Amino acid sequence: MRKVNLGVIGAGRIGRIHARNLKFQIPGARLLAVADVVEESARTLADELEIPTCEKDYRRVLANRDIEAVVICSSTDTHARIIVEAAEAGKHIFCEKPIALEMEKIDQALAAVDKANVKLQVGFNRRFDPSFRRAKELVESGKIGAPQLLRISSRDPQPPPLDYIKVSGGLFLDMMIHDFDMARYLLSEEVTELMATGTCLIDSAIGKCGDVDTAVVLLKFQSGALGTIDNSRQAVYGYDQRIEVFGSKGSVVVENKTPTEVTIHSADAIQSDKPLHFFLERYQEAYLAEMNQFITCILKDQKPPVGGADGKISVAMGYAAMESLNSGTYVKVTL
Amino acid sequence: MRKVNLGVIGAGRIGRIHARNLKFQIPGARLLAVADVVEESARTLADELEIPTCEKDYRRVLANRDIEAVVICSSTDTHARIIVEAAEAGKHIFCEKPIALEMEKIDQALAAVDKANVKLQVGFNRRFDPSFRRAKELVESGKIGAPQLLRISSRDPQPPPLDYIKVSGGLFLDMMIHDFDMARYLLSEEVTELMATGTCLIDSAIGKCGDVDTAVVLLKFQSGALGTIDNSRQAVYGYDQRIEVFGSKGSVVVENKTPTEVTIHSADAIQSDKPLHFFLERYQEAYLAEMNQFITCILKDQKPPVGGADGKISVAMGYAAMESLNSGTYVKVTL
Amino acid sequence: MRKVNLGVIGAGRIGRIHARNLKFQIPGARLLAVADVVEESARTLADELEIPTCEKDYRRVLANRDIEAVVICSSTDTHARIIVEAAEAGKHIFCEKPIALEMEKIDQALAAVDKANVKLQVGFNRRFDPSFRRAKELVESGKIGAPQLLRISSRDPQPPPLDYIKVSGGLFLDMMIHDFDMARYLLSEEVTELMATGTCLIDSAIGKCGDVDTAVVLLKFQSGALGTIDNSRQAVYGYDQRIEVFGSKGSVVVENKTPTEVTIHSADAIQSDKPLHFFLERYQEAYLAEMNQFITCILKDQKPPVGGADGKISVAMGYAAMESLNSGTYVKVTL
Amino acid sequence: MRKVNLGVIGAGRIGRIHARNLKFQIPGARLLAVADVVEESARTLADELEIPTCEKDYRRVLANRDIEAVVICSSTDTHARIIVEAAEAGKHIFCEKPIALEMEKIDQALAAVDKANVKLQVGFNRRFDPSFRRAKELVESGKIGAPQLLRISSRDPQPPPLDYIKVSGGLFLDMMIHDFDMARYLLSEEVTELMATGTCLIDSAIGKCGDVDTAVVLLKFQSGALGTIDNSRQAVYGYDQRIEVFGSKGSVVVENKTPTEVTIHSADAIQSDKPLHFFLERYQEAYLAEMNQFITCILKDQKPPVGGADGKISVAMGYAAMESLNSGTYVKVTL
């Protein structure tokens, strides 16, 4: 059985997830190297997973002739540069979202990928969640007729550290970007214009960073369908990830996923589980499925289902939302 | 036990509901008369409920000295005029929503009510639904902290006849008016501005009447909280009436109500009931509770909890939504 | 429209329910008299509902020639005697369960009913609950194929007073009798034998009365299907009334009914409503529907769907369960 | 990090599950050998997982000095013999349930384990399911007070082949054995006596094998609590695995687990997922968790939480049920 030799660049939280999946759960993958600017992180992960090579400099991974593909999980500001270099080195690329916070950098990265004719898959993991994938299939099958309304609620259990928020690109590019992608994915069509509103209701320190912590965006799709996305940086009851697609023949609703199927009935109340804690728990299967997909695309020479254009459009939507938030008007989504 | 003598004006669908409740379910009420421009309708109802008097002309009801209060369920264009005359006749007034489609008529009606110092309750029945009332209580109690996001989905099982749509005032004044009132009710604060979008996706004949059949409105509240309302004239799975209030300490969610608690498990699927068919079924308890409230307010000389100002603001919000739909900009809600 | 003139005998909790339904909710009924050995109770109810006549002695109700039917809600030990006398007086009879705690008395009552050729409906209200009725219809329709397993859980929110328990006939005749009837109703077939176990786990004082407070009965049906019923005198989370019928093509499950459709999501848990408090709340619609059925049977000269034989068999099953509890063996259900 | 070297004996469905988990998911395990009487099965698995050694004869695994522990997944009739030999070889043992269908063989196996002082864990995987484990924790914590009623429903999506049924030991030893163990596990106490009934309603060919396909068992626990277990060989809607523990302070209910959190709302019905297909899907996490537990017990020199006595008692309960089915009386559970 042919295996794809890979290197993981970035040994943080997400890098470790992908590395473990590649090592243990994906028969078609062979993990040869891990790199991290914090060399200690790379070494710890390499030791744990018995990865042959660990590096401080990702360029040494790119230089490794045995390695066919890289998984980029480093900090966002390095994504585009590494994509360019990886493409030039002829490696297939899996890159965490977003490709970059600057549209020009994204264009440069996509141009390099095109030129090198390597595969690029962007880490929109939620597309691979069994529930959302099933929702997409149902919409595509015509089961609910023509989509008319979309609702996405996406709320985190708690805000990230302020230091992170400062470099994150803001709620629309850091958090709602997933929902922009989900909206396009579920309806298989583009958003033509959007209207964003947002405010700071959770922590005024977030506002002082120039960001919002609560936001609602109204979407208009090519077909005339309408959508709303709401985001909150803090749902005290846990990671809230729900969608609804409503159409001419019915609707499909995705509810939250819980750790158990237990309910407790007492004199006070009927209680059930809070949602799975956060993205690592909620999207465990999705992280594995997206990486399986990437490996399959390499082995079978297929185009990854979430490519560079998807990565670019979602960032463009984020910028449109930021512009709309400032102007108070609809903003067209353009590429 | 003192009883309030009442007359019902309008013997259509809603008039019959209120008449039956007054006759059978509300010990403090005595129904003395019913009027309808279609005399046959008044007579049929009077016969069924053994109401002593039936009239073609509502003025004869207003002239009846034994009658202390009237319940106005006639067509919308007559509401304001009858309110004025009833107030002048010194009757307490329960009036179906909307008071009128024209702001000046509303002002005239409210002025007459003020001058005569009679009670006026507007028929925002949903406030009296046990689930929505419980949600309101939970929000008020501080259980979910400071409200940050509100979501209302309100969808009918099928569109009304085109003839009705033509005189209805349009989706925002006819249908979403309930949700505007619900938004104010749940958060106990005003909407400062709103942004509306809408389109015709269900039946192009509705569009030819100058109306939309699918709409989403984005709300900004005084406190900074954000809200969305979505309306559809046709949810094929039935009358869909859900709300969610999300706050700093949690959220309260109201799901649909079903005729039974039955689920069927078969080789094909796990199936549960569709929602209760339409407003008559869904809000059966609410219609009774609001009328009980009205009678109680008369007997105990209390101010009705849903008064003329509520009736006026909801119409003002409807006009703001229509203006926003046309302009594509935020519109302030002013009185 | 022809109306049935009725008298209610017994103005306790259930008597008041039936009286109110007859007065306000059932157009075909006219309530002419109420009787109660505690004259004050009869008078209070008569005043509240404007019932023309109130009596201390039920015999005066039976002697009233205008009265066509009686609703017997007096204490259990009087049911059989009043049935006999009412039948002899030519009245149609609605009688609360059980007809009597002694099989001979039941036989005498049924013989009198037969001889007088009057209608008798026994108050197994749960058959008229919308959810259980829907379950029955689904089973009858063949939707779940041939029934194979039946599960009934029936638990009260708290035990009745000890004074009541002493005269109640015990858990099997007082409480599980409803479930015995439900079992026969749902499967449209008889139980051939049963095995009962029971114990005293909630209150040892109940045990000192010679009763159990927790019981499980295993049923064998004519078709070979198997069933279990569990009863508890105290479910601290509220009135628990669930059933499941499992068959060759699927199953039908009835869950509890709640006062609202509200869920609260907080940092601690996701909470939903406890079940409706007790039988008066849970079976409100059922009490009305059974009385409507009784009036319809009189007006249309139909046989009541829950007749004397049903009343007798359920008591026979209660005695079989008591015998089985003592003997520890299967006991056949015989009539 | 110290690792436990293991061999897997039996490369069938369950053997492959355990082998994959040991190979990829359990850092403390090193899988050195696999054996199967069908050599081809052993080889295929060894190839797939890169297991160094594959054998036809399990004795060669036992003879391997590097191997510290074995996982016995061969056919039931070989379990006891292999346990004895493995114990004599000084290996720690994980053995699939049941240890044997004959009590003497179980005793011999347990004696050998005792004598060799090796660890033995029996494969009652359901104890390690997150939902059932949570239920157990809640019961143990006192959250629901003193347990009074237990209900277990355990139904397969379809019957096994008749050839399997013939050698399975019958429904009580093959299928309900899991529920017997679950009952003891959840209440942390023993069943003193039981009453079984069963019948053949699904396939008469099962009856011709001398087995039943539908059964209900009534349990009495030491504390006086009562329980019921129902089993069916065929629930057409899928693998149905539910439990309820009801106590003096409340109840804990475990519902089925579904592949997604999707519901579809259409003109026909509201539909949700059927349960996860069968035990491989439903208990995926449980299979991993039980093996993790076994490895941990070896590494930390702890006693496995599901030991030989548990394996023996559950078989004794199966025999008691068979005796009760024949005699129609309660049968005491003795060891």
CA triplet A154, A160, A165: central angle to 5 degrees? 100
Query: Cα dist. A333→A218, A219, A315, B201, C33 in Å?
Result: 12, 10, 10, 22, 75
Contact between B237 and D273 using a beta-carbon 8 Å cutoff: no
Strand D29-35 to strand D4-9: parallel, antiparallel, or no bridges (unpaired)?
A: parallel
| Token pair belonging to C50 | 């404007």
- Give me the residue label for tokens 């391997």: D64
How far apart CA A92 and CA A121 sit, in angstroms, is 9
What is the reported pLDDT for C335? 78
What amino acid occupies position B43? R
Contacts (Cβ under 8 Å, ≥6 apart) of D84: D108, D109, D112
**Mutual orientation of helices C130-140 and C176-187 as an angle, nearest 10°?**
30
B85–A contact, CB cutoff 8 A: no
Q: Which residues of A touch C237 (CB under 8 A)?
A: 265-267, 270
The DSSP string of D187-219 is HTS-EEEEEEEEE--S-HHHHHTT--SEEEEEE
Q: Is B201 on the interface with A (CB under 8 A)?
A: yes
Q: Under a CB-based contact definition with an 8 Å cutoff, are residues C198 and C216 in contact?
A: yes
Nearest CA in chain B to C241: B261
Element (H, E) at C151: strand C147-155
What is the rounded distance in angstroms from the CA atom of residue B237 to the CA atom of residue A248?
A: 10
Q: What is the mean pLDDT of residues D188-208?
A: 97
Mutate to test the interface with D, among B270, B271, B273, B274 (most CBs of D within 10 A): B270
Environment class of residue D141 by beta-carbon count within 10 Å: exposed (0-12), middle (13-18) or buried (19+)? exposed
Of B131, B256, B261, the CB nearest to C131: B261
pLDDT band at B335 (very low <50, low <70, confident <90, very high): confident
- Residues of A whose CB is below 8 A from D249: 266-267
Report whether C112 contacts D177 (CB < 8 A).
no
Q: What is the dihedral of CA C226, C228, C229, C234, to 10 degrees?
A: -170
Size of interface C-D (CB pairs under 8 A): 95
Query: How sure is the predictor about B27, in pLDDT bands with cuts at 50, 70 and 90?
Result: confident
Distances (CA, A) of C146 to C225, D159, D202: 9, 17, 10
Chain D residues inside the 8 Å CB shell of A249 = 266-267
Q: What pLDDT shows up at residue A37?
A: 97
Residues B230 and D249: their CA atoms lie apart, in Å, by 42
Cβ pair D48, D42 in contact under 8 A: no
Of D235, D236, D265, the CB nearest to B237: D265
The average pLDDT across B176-180 equals 98
Please, are residues B272 and B256 in contact by the beta-carbon 8 Å criterion?
A: no
pLDDT band at D335 (very low <50, low <70, confident <90, very high): confident
| Radius of gyration of chain C measured on its C-alpha atoms | 20
Show residues of chain C in contact with D275, CB under 8 Å. Answer: none
B261 touches chain C (CB under 8 A): yes
Residue C1 confidence class, pLDDT cut points 50, 70, 90: confident
Q: Considering only the beta carbons, identify the residue of D148, D151, D230 that sits closest to C214.
A: D148
Q: What is the pLDDT of residue D27?
A: 87
Chain B and chain C share a number of CB contacts under 8 A equal to 83
The band of C27, judged by pLDDT with boundaries at 50, 70 and 90, is confident
> In degrees to the nearest 10, what's the CA dihedral of B156, B159, B164, B170?
70
What is the per-residue pLDDT for D323?
98
Q: What dihedral do alpha carbons C108, C109, C112, C114 form, nearest 10°? A: -110
CB-count burial class (<10 Å; 0-12, 13-18, 19+) for D72: buried
Residue of C62, B220, C8 lying closest to A328 (CA atoms): B220
pLDDT in tens, chain A (335 residues): 799 999 999 999 999 999 999 998 998 999 999 999 999 999 999 999 999 999 999 999 999 999 999 999 999 999 999 999 999 999 999 999 999 999 999 999 999 999 999 999 999 999 999 999 999 999 999 999 999 999 999 999 999 999 999 999 999 999 999 999 999 999 999 999 999 999 999 999 999 999 999 999 999 999 999 999 999 999 999 999 999 999 999 999 999 999 999 999 999 999 999 999 999 999 999 999 999 999 999 999 999 999 999 999 999 999 999 999 999 999 999 87
3-state DSSP call for residue C164?
Answer: helix
Q: Is the pLDDT assigned to residue B111 strictly greater than 90?
A: yes
Q: Which among A103, A322, A329 is positioned nearest to A211, based on CA atoms?
A: A322
Per-residue pLDDT band at B46 (split at 50, 70, 90): very high
Q: How far apart are the first and last CA of chain C?
A: 41
DSSP D161: P
Say whether B255 and C264 touch across the interface (CB within 8 A). no
Q: What is the mean pLDDT of chain B?
A: 97
pLDDT above 90 coverage of chain C, percent: 98
Contact between chains at C216 and D228 (C-beta distance less than 8 A): yes
Q: Using one digit for the tens of pLDDT, what is the confidence trace for D117-130?
A: 999 999 999 999 99
- List of chains touching A (3+ CB pairs within 8 A): B, C, D
Touching check for C328 and chain D: CB below 8 Å?
Answer: yes
Q: How confident is the model at residue B265 (pLDDT cuts 50, 70, 90)?
A: very high
Most A CBs within 10 A among D139, D149, D264, D274, hence the mutation to make, goes to D264
Q: Cα–Cα distances in Å, from B299 out to B17, B67, C329?
A: 21, 14, 64
* Percentage with pLDDT > 70 across chain B: 100
- Nearest-Cα distance to chain D for B186, in Å, is 27
- Separation between Cα atoms, residue D46 and residue D68, nearest integer Å: 18
Q: How far is Cα A310 from Cα A183, in angstroms, rounded to an integer? A: 12
How many alpha carbons fall within 13 Å on the CB side of residue B10?
20
Contact with chain D for residue C216, Cβ under 8 A: yes
Tokens of B266: 């078969």
d(CA B72, CA B93): 7
Write down the mean pLDDT value for chain C: 97
- Write the residue in A148, A227, A236 that is nearest to B232 by C-beta: A148
How far does the CA of residue A43 sit from the closest CA of chain D (Å)?
16
Q: What are the Cα distances from residue B42, in Å, to B20, B61, B291?
A: 13, 12, 20
**Contact by Cβ (8 Å): A185, A290:** no
- C160 to chain B, any CB pair closer than 8 A? The answer is no
Chain B's closest residue to C24, CA to CA, is B24
Q: Is B266 on the interface with D (CB under 8 A)?
A: yes
Look up residue B75 and give its two tokens.
């067509």
Task: Report yes or no: A269 at the C interface, CB cutoff 8 Å.
Answer: yes
Cα(first)–Cα(last) distance of chain D, in Å? 41
In a 3-state reduction of DSSP, which class is residue A196? strand
Distance, first Cα to last Cα, chain A: 41
The tokens for B331 are 């519109």
CB within 8 Å: D265 and A252: yes
Nearest to B204 by CA among B173, B162, B240: B162
The C-alpha of D268 sits at a distance from chain B's nearest C-alpha, in angstroms, of 7
The percent helix, strand, coil of chain A (3-state, each to 5) is 40, 25, 35
Whether the CB of B274 is below 8 Å from some CB of chain A: the reply is: no
What pLDDT does residue A335 have?
78
Distances (CA, A) of B53 to A276, B45, B46, B75: 63, 10, 7, 21
CA count, 13 A, side-chain hemisphere, D94: 32
> What pLDDT shows up at residue D213?
98
Does pLDDT of B318 surpass 90?
Answer: yes
CA–CA dist B323, B194 (Å, integer): 10
> How do residues B115-124 score in pLDDT, each as one tens digit?
999 999 999 9
Tell whether the model's pLDDT for residue C130 goes beyond 80.
yes
Closest CA to C96 of C164, C174, C157, C169: C174
Subunit partners of chain D (3 or more CB pairs within 8 A): A, B, C
pLDDT tens across B189-204, in order? 999 999 999 999 999 9
CB contact under 8 A, D260 and A131: yes
Q: In the numeric block, which tokens belong to residue B29?
A: 């009420």
Q: What pLDDT score does C232 carry?
A: 98
**Structure pTM?**
0.96
Rg (CA), chain A: 20
- Tell me whether A202 touches chain B (CB under 8 Å): yes
Beta bridge partners of B91: none
Is C237 touching B (CB cutoff 8 A)?
no
Closest residue in B to A203 (Cα–Cα): B248
Per-residue burial over D33-45, b = 16 or more CB atoms within 10 Å of its CB, e = otherwise: bbbbbeeebbbbb
Confidence at residue B289, expressed as pLDDT on a 0 to 100 scale: 98
Sign of the dihedral defined by the CA atoms of residues B39, B43, B46, B50, in that order? positive
Q: How far apart are CA B85 and CA B105, in angstroms?
A: 13
Predicted-complex ipTM score: 0.95
CA distance A101 to A119: 21
pLDDT for C196: 98
